[in-house]
Amino acid sequence: MSSYANFTTSQQNDNLRSDKFIGSNIPWAFGRELEINPSRKAPTNAPILNDRDMFNKFSNTNETIDTTSFNPTDAWGMPIQGGSTSNNKKSLLSTPYIMEANDKNGWTATSTTWNQNDEYAELEFDSKSNQMKFSSSLNSHHQTSSDDMLELAYNNKLAGTNEDNGTCKIELDCMSFEYELSKQKQKDIVVDVSSPFALGYIWKAIILLSKNPSTDKLVKMLGIKSKDSIVSDMKRHAEVFEDSGRLEIMFPVNSTCQTPNSNYIQKIEDIYKITVIPDNETYENIATLNMKWNFLLEIPFYYQPKIATDYLIGYKKIKTKFLELTDVPIFLLIDKKINIVCVEIPCSSNMILGFIYTPARELVNLIPYELITQPKKPSVLVKKLTIPKLNRNKKTIYSKNFKDVLNQVHLGEIVYGSLYKLDIGLEVGLSISIGKEIPKNKYEIVKSFDEIIINHKCFYYVKNNFIQNKVLATGLINY
């Protein structure tokens, strides 16, 4: 098998057909005497609800979970003691302090805190101080010892992005953490697989189900702005997660003698695809979260894939399976200034398989997250492209690296008032098969190479062109 660097000289492509491929003072009272409280707004016909009306309002199980925000100047009533409010009677009974607001369409229930200094204050995190440009993040260096691993991944030092530009900081940190952890494994050869999207969904689910003091603790640790931004992201991508993943959490009932919030449990399963299972057999105060993520990537049949076996460069102990592809349009970036080679291959169902490594065929120091998530157009035709056959499955106890953080978690949205030790089991896999999809895309080819071979150390990733700023699967080959 020839070397990776065996590029032929660029040829003119006139004979190649590109279509071959396809604030102010707020009046509120400590009673229900809303009619005596003056409002700064003009008089309206907003209904005045008594306790029974409010209880009946919450009894409607067809309403969705209220995670909306509101303008304090548009509301009056009694403040809620933190957290979000579910539209059901149990939430009302456990949280009797209700804020009433007029949204012109009737009455809605919301929640907030007024005193930003109290125990339930809403965290206001300024991520601007942690922003870094893509170019500077590539040239920066961080400690990678095992002692600093947790600090490296979840303390804002890797905050190259923020929530405002569409990228997810939690997923960025998860990917960087797994990458550093895999590089440090003391094995002859490591072929790892992970999913920043799935791991990020785990942390978001924990935040979704938590109440203070755990919510603020997790929000501060992950360096995000608020719980609301997490909820919004999960809503948008719940169906994407359901396509390849399953997440369930089991919590003991006998150890706490608390009644689970059954209405909320059903709604988060419908909306966020999280299954909550009460455990009636366990008496230990341990909740278990299990995540399964099995991702299938299909290589288009018109690449004429063939399986070959050969040695990796510099590793002659065992042979590795490769896929040999023919006439493949790719995106190719070779930048010696930032010491990066990036190859992206269009696959079936709008998927992209990408590879990142250095021109010397080594692993890069830091993952260029912004480069990976940016949309790119193939402009190079490779007559013969050889890539590793990346079929990999992994089972691990994910929580073992975060024992201090997950030792006592208040899952108050499902069982209020109990702290659980949270164990997280993770099963993640990536499979490659041959797809039968007919090519639809057309590419403007400007260069061609006879052969490119990726048979060395590299970082790989899978994303979807139609799902912006999400990396669905990652992994590396190291030895």
The per-residue pLDDT string of the chain (479 residues; one tens digit each, 9 = 90 and over) reads 444 444 444 444 444 333 443 444 444 444 444 444 444 445 555 556 565 555 555 554 444 444 444 444 444 444 444 444 444 444 444 444 444 444 444 433 333 333 333 332 332 333 333 333 333 333 333 333 333 433 434 433 333 334 445 688 999 999 999 999 999 998 899 999 999 999 999 999 999 999 888 888 898 888 888 888 888 889 899 999 999 999 999 988 776 666 777 888 888 899 999 999 888 777 788 999 999 999 999 999 999 999 999 999 999 999 999 999 999 999 999 999 999 999 999 999 999 999 999 999 999 999 999 999 999 999 999 999 999 999 999 999 999 989 888 988 998 888 887 888 999 999 999 999 999 888 777 899 999 999 999 999 999 999 999 999 999 999 999 99
In which element (H, E) is residue 179 found? helix 169-183
Listed as own residue / partner, the contacts of 97-102 with beta carbons closer than 8 Å and 24 or more positions apart are 98/54, 99/70, 99/75, 100/34, 100/49, 100/75, 100/76, 101/70, 101/74, 101/75, 101/76, 101/77, 102/44, 102/46, 102/74, 102/75
The gap from C-alpha 309 to its chain's centroid, in whole angstroms, comes to: 35
CA distance 268 to 205: 10
For 19-60, the pLDDT digits (tens) are 443 444 444 444 444 444 444 445 555 556 565 555 555 554
Mean predicted lDDT score pLDDT of the chain: 74
pLDDT of the residue at 49: 58
CATH classification of 1-22+128-479, choosing from 2.30.39.10, 1.20.190.20, 3.40.50.1220, 3.40.367.20?
2.30.39.10
Residue 450 Cα distances to 18, 322, 388, angstroms: 17, 18, 18
Neighbours of 9 (CB within 10 A): 7
pLDDT of the residue at 48: 60
For 48-104, the pLDDT digits (tens) are 656 555 555 555 444 444 444 444 444 444 444 444 444 444 444 444 444 444 444
Please tell me the pTM assigned to this model.
0.67
- Where in the sequence of the chain do the CATH 2.30.39.10 domains occur? 1-22+128-479
